[in-house]
Amino acid sequence: MNTIALRAGLFVAVAALTVSPSAASAQCAEIDGNIVQNCSFESKPLTGNRAVYPYAKLDHWASESGTIERWVGTFQGITSRDGNAHVELNVNAPTSLYQHLMTTAGATYSVTFWGLHRPGGGNAFSEIDVLIDGDKIFGTNPFGVLTADHREWFRFTTSFVATSETTKLEFLGENNPGATSYGNHLDDVSVVMTSPGVQVPEPTSLALLGAGLLGFVGVARRRTR
Is residue 5 in a domain?
A: no
Could you tell me the CATH number of the domain that includes residue 74? Answer: 2.60.120.260
pLDDT of residue 10: 37
Q: Are 107 and 196 in contact (CB under 8 A)?
A: yes
How many helices, marked H, and strands, marked E, lie in the chain? 2, 10
Is residue 112 in a domain?
A: yes
CA 130 centroid distance within chain: 11
- For the chain, the domain total comes to 1
pLDDT digits (tens, 9 = 90+) for 173-193: 886 666 566 778 999 999 999
pLDDT of residue 16: 33
39: containing domain: 22-217
Is residue 78 in a domain?
A: yes
Q: How confident is the model at residue 221 (pLDDT cuts 50, 70, 90)?
A: low
Is residue 61 in a domain?
A: yes
